[in-house]
Structure 1
């Protein structure tokens, strides 16, 4: 049975995504790092998992049905953080509605026998990665010195999630699943 790799995330709106892409580009040009370009800017709700390709359409339909009940969420991005010494990211402010959405997705995935919702069971730590994987320790510290006191202050209304699919080299948005847009949940 042929399988494909997927993950689930929240993508910021286009203009904010372009701004974050510019930050990735800045550090790519200075330090030659490229791994963060393998997917567009996103907040991961479910880390990569495998699913039989013949279940893809059913999976997307069922997840879409689950999200019909979800209200849009205001997301606040605030400054930079890191997982020393390999990941630098834009921080997402604490957000109960976002935590609830992640738990909803996690519970939904159990019916597909997918249980790896958080990295090494460290819990949900929402963020938008700007550098990782090909980031060596000396470069990590150079970039961290550049961003640790640099302000980043943006917010957006998340009214959908994106299911990404790996194409063999990078991650493409397979499908965007919209929430109920009648009412938002506050932070």
Structure 2
């Protein structure tokens, strides 16, 4: 019996008005610096990096995420300026609030304990919340030029993330599969 696995990740997604403005920045990187990778998903802050999951078990995962989210407070998020993981990634910096650090730690621990979902890379380094605007297909040369342009650029958004978002890869891009309200 062929059990098909799908790729998912879990994130916080900004409200539509902020999402739209960040998508515009991503489009600017696509046209000005030939970096389109960030447009393959809605703007987001990754909490649980991509993992594989059996298609038939998605309802169990969703029910579990619903339970996890139900007794959590919504998360205040502050986006402030730009930062980089040289020499390939430019991102909108996300302020490391206690609430954000806590939900990240709790979610990773919950998924490992309940479902055996573990991301060894993210376990081995500190959590740096960010919203990617250019990566992977950004050449080192274009990174240098783009970073000169964006390093000192100001940007400031604040929002409250009302839900955890489960994103599913359809073979070419990431799409919102479901959202789980943070409702406490």
TM range (shorter): over 0.9
Instruction: State the partner residue of 2:70.
Output: 68
- Per the TM alignment, residue 117 of structure 1 is displaced from its structure 2 partner at its CA by 6.6
Q: Does 1:174 pair with 2:181? A: no
Instruction: State the partner residue of 2:130.
Output: 127
Instruction: State the partner residue of 1:184.
Output: none
User: Following TM superposition, where does structure 1 have runs of at least 4 consecutive aligned residues deviating by more than 3 angstroms?
Assistant: 117-120
Q: Unpaired segments of 5 or more residues in structure 1?
A: 182-187
Q: Give the direction of change, closer, same or farther, for the CA distance of 1:153–1:118 in structure 2 (3 Å limit).
A: farther
Instruction: State the partner residue of 1:5.
Output: 7
Deviates more, 1:164-173 or 1:99-108: 99-108
- Per the TM alignment, residue 122 of structure 1 is displaced from its structure 2 partner at its CA by 1.5
Inter-partner Cα distance in structure 2 for 1:164 and 1:170? 10
Calculate the aligned-residue CA RMSD, in Å.
1.2
Instruction: Kindly tell me the number of residue pairs found equivalent between the two proteins.
Output: 181
Deviates more, 1:103-112 or 1:34-43: 103-112
Inter-partner Cα distance in structure 2 for 1:99 and 1:6? 21
The equivalences for 1:1-187 within 5 A come to 1-110=3-112, 111-116=114-119, 119=122, 121-180=124-183
| TM-score, length basis structure 1 | 0.93
Inter-partner Cα distance in structure 1 for 2:128 and 2:149? 22
